[in-house]
Structure 1
Amino acid sequence: MIFPKITELELPKQDSNVIKDLGKTFLYDFKKREFILKDGKPIEAVGKKDIEIWIEKVLRTQKNRWKIYDEVDYGTTIEDLIVGHSYPKSFLESELKREITQEVLKHPRIESLTNWDFIRVNDKLRVIFTVNLYDGDFIKQEVSF
């Protein structure tokens, strides 16, 4: 017999790090710290805006701080890197890239992050990067801490 006998079909394993059900995302003004409303109701974010807001929310959520996220691996430890520390610039940038990439790539539509830029102005840090989507599109993302 030329062909091996196959007794069961092996399916590719799903990546357990990818978040499957992201739910709805609503437009949010992070500077004012409030939802954007129309006729008193929050407006659902769609398309790339949905991804932008999801990224900002996950990066601004401190991991292990809120009970609502106890059952899921959501958020970052970016605050621990920035607040009260003066790490060398190369170490801080490397760790921020690692942490941000690790968390953002959990979104099922995001393929990679590129074109990093870190700008420190006084006590604020702006992190700018390109979010490359699986469909070939991209988003220029900026988050300030």
Structure 2
Amino acid sequence: MFPDDDLEYIIDGELADEGLNIFDGKAFLFDFETGDFVYKNGAPVLLEGKEALKAWIEKCIRTVKYRAIVHSNLEYGPQIDDLIGSVLPTDFVKAEIEREITEALLRNPFITSVVDFSFEVEGSRLIANLTVNSTYDDEVLEVNT
């Protein structure tokens, strides 16, 4: 009745890589403040193109790798939860966050580069700012997490 843990993904008739993040240029709008999808006329709001990629980026960065069962077979999201609140040197933590986020985002074939990381401290929060270049056009996507 339920699929086993060895899920196979088929894209365009080809068996997909287990580590592939399935992104086809579309995504549903998700409100991270309410923790739910956004609906209009009873249906989830569908995003396409660059707006869908922005939504995918935010979801990817907010998803802790391997934590959710739905993503257990995918290399999806950065693994930075063990760095948050650690006693490790701040420069090391920043470098690891940058590496993890960059690796997670570059798994998406629509993303060509992740650059210009900077960090801000707001109380006990470390906020990462970065630029994502994509295949959609020359316009860069500014991301604040």
Match of 2:96 in 1: 95
* 1:101 CA drift (Å): 0.4
Moved over 2 A (4+): 16-21, 134-137
* 1:17 CA drift (Å): 8.6
Match of 1:34 in 2: 36
Identity %: 34
- The answer to whether the aligner puts 1:51 opposite 2:59 as a matched pair is no
Aligned length: 127
Contact 1:25-1:54 within 8 A present in 2 as well: yes
Aligned alpha-carbon RMSD (Å): 2.0
Q: Spell out, residue by residue over 1:82-108, the C-alpha distance to the aligned partner (whole angstroms, 9 max, x if none).
A: 1x3132221111101100000100111
Equivalent AA in structure 1 for residue 119 of structure 2: F
Equivalent AA in structure 1 for residue 53 of structure 2: I
- The answer to whether the aligner puts 1:115 opposite 2:116 as a matched pair is yes
Q: Looking at secondary structure, tell me which structure has more strand per residue.
A: 2
Moved more, 49-58 or 94-103: 49-58
- Structure-2 change in CA distance of 1:62 and 1:141 (3 Å): same
**TM-score where L is the length of structure 1:** 0.78
* 1:75 CA drift (Å): 2.1
Contact 1:131-1:141 within 8 A present in 2 as well: yes
- Structure-2 change in CA distance of 1:41 and 1:93 (3 Å): same
Secondary structure of 1:58's partner?
Answer: helix
* 1:65 CA drift (Å): 1.6
- Structure-2 change in CA distance of 1:18 and 1:69 (3 Å): closer
Equivalent AA in structure 2 for residue 68 of structure 1: V
Contact 1:18-1:105 within 8 A present in 2 as well: no
In the alignment, the residues of structure 1 paired with residue 92 and residue 18 of structure 2 have an alpha-carbon distance, to the nearest angstrom, of: 25
In the alignment, the residues of structure 2 paired with residue 51 and residue 124 of structure 1 have an alpha-carbon distance, to the nearest angstrom, of: 25
- Structure-2 change in CA distance of 1:17 and 1:122 (3 Å): farther
* 1:79 CA drift (Å): 1.1
Contact 1:132-1:138 within 8 A present in 2 as well: yes
- Structure-2 change in CA distance of 1:28 and 1:126 (3 Å): same
Gaps of 5+ in 1: 1-15
Secondary structure of 2:52's partner?
Answer: helix
In the alignment, the residues of structure 2 paired with residue 53 and residue 140 of structure 1 have an alpha-carbon distance, to the nearest angstrom, of: 12
In the alignment, the residues of structure 2 paired with residue 20 and residue 62 of structure 1 have an alpha-carbon distance, to the nearest angstrom, of: 14
